[in-house]
Structure 1
Amino acid sequence: MGKKGDLSEFERGRIVGARRAGLSISETAQLVGFSRTTVSRVYREWSEKKKMSSKRQSCGRKCLVDVKGQLKMGRLIQDDRKATVAQITTRYNQETQNTISERTARRTLKQMGYINRRPHRVPVLSAKSRKLRLEFAEAHQKWTVTDWKNVAWSSGTRFQLQHSCGRVKIWHEQQESLDPSSPGSPAPAGGGGVTVWGIFSWHKLGPLVPIERCLSATDYLGLLGDHVHPFMSTVYPSADGCFQQGNAPCHNADVISNWFLEHKEEFTVLRLPPQSPDLNAMEHLWEMVEREVRTMAAQPTSQQQLRDAIVSAWTKASEESFRHVVESMPQRVKAVLKAKGGPTRY
């Protein structure tokens, strides 16, 4: 590959095309991701000399994906916005002699201006929610990774047979909207689904429990006794553990509060502020399970098959994967502080 300053014909073509379409130098620079100086130079060279290639492109190793290859990769993206890098690489390498690696495919897509992110809507936080989030972040800003290792994370979620809306990542160009209603975004979830509840900590992956109906206070009390208490006793025998739970109605019932009071000598309770998935490490684990299920060769077609697939994906979660998200908690708290309680990128 050439020097950092080299531009491919495809990149030069994007700059020229944007300028000819009426975009200013600044707007073009923001669109293509290059400096205003580069944009100005490339367009001037095209205007004066009709130049669309760099003299320095012969430097270094030849690029494995030429303009024709980039066009092919662009078609693959348009055909399946939800494809993984591995799937794109496999499809690209079909019927071609010059095969590429996943790393090359990822780098090429980045050069072409594609990024892979989940469609999302920024949550509309009330003034009260922002205040509570900020207060939580201020109260825990001095917590270290060691402190967060003492937290057992828990929550429930629902997986759809087709997919859970908002969890699937899509490829899109930088200037495209990330709203789920934009072209290429996942279709609404449907076809039935499975609800599960899980618990984990930095030290250990806990049980995954299928939930057959909407949890009542009595049902949740059963979860606490059958799964939370044994997990906390095993992982934190010194009574230094902290059990995290959300703000579901069943969590705030008197019978639940009384149960925690009875066990206050064994572990404490960490309540996250409302509308705070970015502060719940459990959300990251659910995303990993979703990705594992959606990349299985045989996709589930019934609720029982989906349940089995979720259990299989849960048990395959590596220590490195769920430990990493716990270790990211100090950065997440800092992000909330910086946003003054507003939403963050996590």
Structure 2
Amino acid sequence: MGKTADLTAVQKAIIDTLKREGKTQKEISERIGCSQSAVSRHLSGKSLGRKKCGKKRCTTRRGDRTLRKIVEKDRFQTLGDLRKQWTESGVETSRATVHRRVLLNQKQRQKRLTWATEKQHWTVAQWSKVLFSDESKFCMSFGNQGARVWRKTGEKEMPKCLKSSVKYPQSVMVWGAMFLVQKYKKN
């Protein structure tokens, strides 16, 4: 078998139970549907999970404060302009980093982390009951493609955060959804 996801908590509990019943590693792996080496690593205690992937944080709290000051000077700047000014202040980043730093405050980050840790050990069966959806609006006429307004919570009605726009631009809203369908192996 090729490299797959780490064993779930349920799979680990089943492995321990079957081992206490005297089953061999081969029998356990066939019953659970994972590789024999995964069973062996779990039983020997060498299964530490995968290394954390992803890039390390490239900005500091000080750099984030600098970006906030740049945004507050002109709230209608594009991401490219924000990135250019932030780079001039000594922070080398991508457009995506700029976008994440401006929009997410500490409370939002904490909510995302809480949600992720709650779902960290979900099984495939639990995820198969989740429907992921997204929507996008595409404007056909000029008027609604103005610059993004960067503002904090509670600054919605401040004059420096408002800009005029076309009342009824021609646009199309597209919505899509997807979910997991999986066939289970019967033993």
TM-score (norm. length: structure 2) = 0.38
Higher helix proportion: 1
